[in-house]
Amino acid sequence: MMRINKYLAECGVCSRREADKYIEQGKVKVNQKIAVSGMQVSEQDVVEVFGKVIEPKNRKIVLAYYKPIGVTCTEKDAHADKTIIQALNYPVRLTYAGRLDKDSEGLIIMTNDGDLIQNMMKGANGHEKEYMVKVNKEITKEFLEKMSQGVYLKELDQKTRPCKLEQIGKFTFRIILTQGLNRQIRRMCQEFGYKVTSLRRDRVVNVELKGLRSGQFRELQGEELAQLYELCGMK
C-alpha cells in the first residue's frame, strides 16, 4: 500500500504535487469513488485520472503504434511540433523502441519494458524491420541489386548490411533491414540518385502494422507478444 499521490507518480502519470492538485479537483477516482488526499492504494485498486484507468506500475505494456507523418520520435523537444509522447497520449509512461524520422510513418513499438527495448535495439541481434518505400523516379534492376548488397554511406562513413528488396510498382519497393542507422533508407537511395517521397514501416520483428490506421495503437497480447519476447531472446 502507498499514498495515492506517490502511486500516481510511480506509475508515471504526473508528479506528486500535480497528483495532489488533481485529487483536490476531484479528477481522481479509486474503485469508482472520488479519491481523497492521503488515502492508501495498492495495485489491486482500480485508479482513474480524468476518466482513464491507470495501469499498475509493474505491469509490462507493449503497444504497436502507427506513428503519423509530422510526429517527432523524442520524449521532450521544445522545437518539435508534436512529440511521439504527445501524439500517443497514453496514461502510462512508455518509451519507443527504434525511431522513425519526422517525415516517415508506420509501426513503432512503445513499451515500459526497458529490457525489451534494449534487446530490440541491439544491432548485433539483427532483428528484421520491413518498410514500403516510394521514390521519385523509376526503379531499375541495377538499383535493387546494388541496394541489396549493402551501400557505403559517405555521411556516416559506414557500409550498410546486405538486405532484401522486392519491387512492388514502378516507383515502389519493399525493403527488409536488420539494422537501424540514422535515416538509413533515405541515405541509401540518395547514393544512387533517388529521393524517397514516402516511407512507411510495416513490420518490426514479428509485429505487423496491419489493421491500424495512422495515429492508432493496439496492445500486444497472447501469442504475438510471447513470440516477440522469444525472438528477442527473452523467453
Identity of the residue numbered 148? S
Catalytic: which of 20, 45, 81, 101?
A: 101
Q: How many CB atoms lie within 10 A of CB 28?
A: 27
Q: Is 101 a catalytic residue?
A: yes
Q: How many CB atoms lie within 10 A of CB 17?
A: 9
By the 10 Å C-beta count (0-12 exposed, 13-18 middle, 19+ buried), 138 is classed as exposed
**Grid cell of 213 as nine digits:** 490506421
Radius of gyration (C-alpha) of the chain in whole angstroms: 21
**Grid cell of 150 as nine digits:** 549493402
Any idea which residue has 512508455 for its cell?
94
Active site residues: 101
